[in-house]
Amino acid sequence: MKRIISVILTVVSVLCAVFAFSGCGQKFNNKLPHKVALVRIDYGDSVNKKAQLSIANETEKFNFSGVDFFNKSNSKKVKKLVGGDRLEIYYTDENYENVDHILVQKAKVLTLEVEVGEVPGDPPNARDVYSTSPNISINHTKYEVNWVIDKSGNLIALSEFRDSDKLYGTFIEEEVEEVGRVKVKLHYIHALYTYNPR
């Protein structure tokens, strides 16, 4: 009997170690010095028309390769960053030289619809995007989102889309404002995708 219990306990310990290693229940020391940065889409590659991620805050840009990102809410590994994700970069020391871990506050996703607005007086080929939900207003110009990212990471001009095409926009919950005399929730879009990136 004692032998059986001992085996069970060993198996459980091993399993816990495995899960801990993989992120389930993984604990991070969030009292370490840290910086905050935002994930943006760099639309600069007009030759290849590929979306590049840019991680930066007001004072510096970051370049992470071979680094894992973990979801701030459940410590699970985040496989993919999208525009609007907010990173908390924790360092081992006050010199901010070595990264201990990076937590991601994930941007949320809104389902949108393209409307060929063609506002009289505006330049031609103007497109606008609207939320499919009522009482939600969209602003995609604040972060200059004029391109849409497909699954291969290619950039497609918003003007290429047709009326009623479905898109997905990422936004940061904390940026949502209630605007207007008839109140609506204004969402600032950080990136547009042809698919739900989450």
Partner 1 sequence: MKKFLACALAFTAILFSTNFYSVNKDANANIDNKESDSCEFIDTSKLEELSNKYQANTEIEEDDTVPCAQAGSLEYTNFTDKEYYATTTFNRINYFENLSQYSAYNSVDSCGFVALIQALSFYDTFYNRYTIPYTYNRKNELATTENEAKAESPGVLRQVYDSTKYTSYYEYCNATQATDFQSYLTVLYNNKRGTNNDGQHKDDDGKYVDNFEKSIGTQNYQTVLNELYEDDYTVKVNDYNKLSQKQYLDLIKETISSGNPIVVQIVKYDSAGNASRHAVVAYDYDASNIYANFGWGRGYNRSPLLGGSAGYTEIYRAATLDFSKSGHWHSDNYVINSKSYCGCNISDKINFVVPEKWTNIPPTFYWMKDLKDPDETFSIEFLSFTFGDIYCSFTTDKNQMTLSANDWRNVLKSCSKDKGCLIKLQRISSKIDYIYSVYEIKRPSSAMEHITISPAEYGFYEGYNETEISSNIVQGKYTINTKRLRCGYIENECINLSARKEKAGTAYLDYSLDNYVYRIDVDLFLWSENEYLSSNDSTAYIQYKDSFGNWVTVLDLLNDIELSTDRLFPETYTVVFPEKTKEFRIYCSTWKIGDRNKGRLCIGDMSIYLEGK
Binding site for partner 1 (CB under 8 A): 115, 117-125, 137, 139, 141-142, 144, 146-147, 157-159, 163, 177, 179-182, 184, 186, 188
User: Which of 159, 153, 177 lies closest to 41 in space, CA to CA?
Assistant: 153
Burial 91-105 (b: 16+ CB within 10 A, else e): beeeeeeebebbbbb
Nearer to partner 1, 66 or 121 (CB): 121
Nearer to partner 1, 30 or 135 (CB): 135
Minimal distance, residue 124 CB to partner 1, in Å: 4
CB 184 within 8 A of CB 130: no
CB 148 within 8 A of CB 195: no
Nearer to partner 1, 24 or 126 (CB): 126
Minimal distance, residue 120 CB to partner 1, in Å: 4
Minimal distance, residue 130 CB to partner 1, in Å: 9
Minimal distance, residue 141 CB to partner 1, in Å: 4
Nearer to partner 1, 13 or 125 (CB): 125
Minimal distance, residue 55 CB to partner 1, in Å: 20
CA 194 – CA 6 distance, rounded (Å) = 53
Q: How far is residue 183 from each of residues 20, 110, 129, 140, 177, measured CA to CA in Å?
A: 45, 19, 19, 19, 10
Nearer to partner 1, 66 or 123 (CB): 123
